[in-house]
Structure 1
Amino acid sequence: MPLRPLAAALLLLPLSLAAQDAPQPRLPAIDKPLPPAADRTARANVMLADYRYGDLLWENDRTAHRVYGHALEAHEPPSGSGIDAWGKNVAWPFMDRQLKSGDQHGFHGEGIDHYNVGTGRGAGGLGIWLDNKLWTSRNFVRHRILRNGPDTADFEVDYAPWPVDVARKVWETRRFTLPTGTHFTRMVSTIASDKPGPLIVGVGIGRKPTGSEGEVTIDKAKGLISWWGPDVGDHGRMAIALRVDPAMLVDVVKDADNHLALLRVTPGKPFVYYSGAAWSLGNGGFRTRADWDRHVGAEKVTFTVPPRGPNH
């Protein structure tokens, strides 16, 4: 028998009230709100912050990142090639206005930068693993923006040659692609070498980027490392994850600074991996470690190298 309109409304009412009663994250107190965004449309964005030592910033409606420019090496040694992750609680770009505020680490109403990369790999930086040590590059030296939104941020960076002990030198080009609607940036890395033979590449997540150890989930069969950061008072938690090709995975280890997925790589042959990030008080609704782990495990990934071009 069909429900009358009033009866249907009464059945729906408890669900509506339950949704309204669901706990919402309590954001930090706002210190000096940012200047209003000129456009509050959700979009993906990539830009060079030439006013801030040449950092590259990219974000979408859910997550935000940067890599550090070459000029920062002299200003903040030993600046390196780890990947920074910011939390955000708005769908439109905010990183440029946050940096220009003069207080990038404060909460000004749209997001927060309390993730300290240091000399670690941050959210998906890499290095060469040899003799139980990670050999890493300095900051990127060149960049090419392939697509600046509105649906995808897509760019490449080059890392100058760096030594792997005294055995060899390597250098890298890496492509970063972040569409809207996801917490994951796809990386396509091509590492060249002055000598032949395979390399073991360590793709990492920083162990203590917000002050102390977080909780780590490892699933080698899926090529998954998921990190749920410690609660940092009213700043909440950061969450980071890696998805790598299980067929390339040699092991998952840790050094003093990082959790590392070790991959067997052929010089000159590109390979794909994914780096994801979220903020427990921000977009995405990840309030528990279980929420984040489920999402990371369900993320649709493909390790086929995409064609190079601005529309891919």
Structure 2
Amino acid sequence: MAVAFTFPGQGSQTVGMGKDLADAFPEAAAVFAEVDEALGEKLSDIIWTGPEDQLTLTANAQPALMAVSIAALRVMQARGLDLKSKVAYVAGHSLGEYSALCAAGTFTLSDTARLLRIRGNAMQAAVPAGEGAMAAIIGLDHADVEAVCVEASPLGACQIANDNGGGQLVISGLKPAVEQAASLASQKGAKRALLLPVSAPFHSTLMAPAAEAMREALASVPRQDPVVPLVANVRAAPVTSAETIVDLLVEQVTGQVRWRETVSWFAQNDVTTLYEIGAGKVLTGLARRIDKNVTGTAVNTPADIEAVLAALA
């Protein structure tokens, strides 16, 4: 039975995250210092003391969450964890895919921080504020949600952005179309159809300018093949080529995060233990709902790290 490391996405951030790791472990403190230097500002101050509205900004939340994930990983590595021999795959939810790739050695920590700052700014700038929207649809299957998106599309772009599993899908696009699709989903029997408090319509075709910005940014960044395969968001299948991964990261900006299929792929390929490295426990909760044969464990405190090292010894 194999192990995978997963890395959380936007929404898992909380003020103060990672502070206990930085206080307890010099390897973790060094990660935050390197991210600060790469960005030319004290992002760590915002991570640890807020204010929350500054941490929540896409351009801050994305590198911040990555920093917390890599801080936890570096602590484990300093205590003897060898990723290649102990972990079969890595995967991350949206921005978490960059954390996974940093963990697997495809990008350096400094380059990953800069890429995520570019990504956050580009995604925010792609659509004027108030024109886009996202909505969570609970209790309908993928085909029904796809159908309501198509039905609402005369009002503008509307598509599935995240298939999170456990009956939760997120749609994204122009606000009138998303509102119409959410209404149609309720009429079709969705348990909930809720507009989300997000600043832009992520993972939709409206993010095309951000995809081009990432194509340009990624073109100039050194990359290595990951030391363990990445199960990519847009494929829900493992990838080992750095060049292919870069193409998929561009595709991911406008494409669907296929998380339900990712966890199902793990289950079908004897990966029964998922360790969620970094802030929160969103992916851990989703894993249980997607496949009962998969065990998720959140790893974000010194005690969590000790438990994982013991389990993987």
> TM class, shorter-chain normalised?
under 0.3
Structure with the larger helix share: 2
- Normalised to the residue count of structure 1, the TM-score between the two structures is 0.25
Larger gyration radius, structure 1 or structure 2: 1
- Normalised to the residue count of structure 2, the TM-score between the two structures is 0.25
Structure with the larger strand share: 1
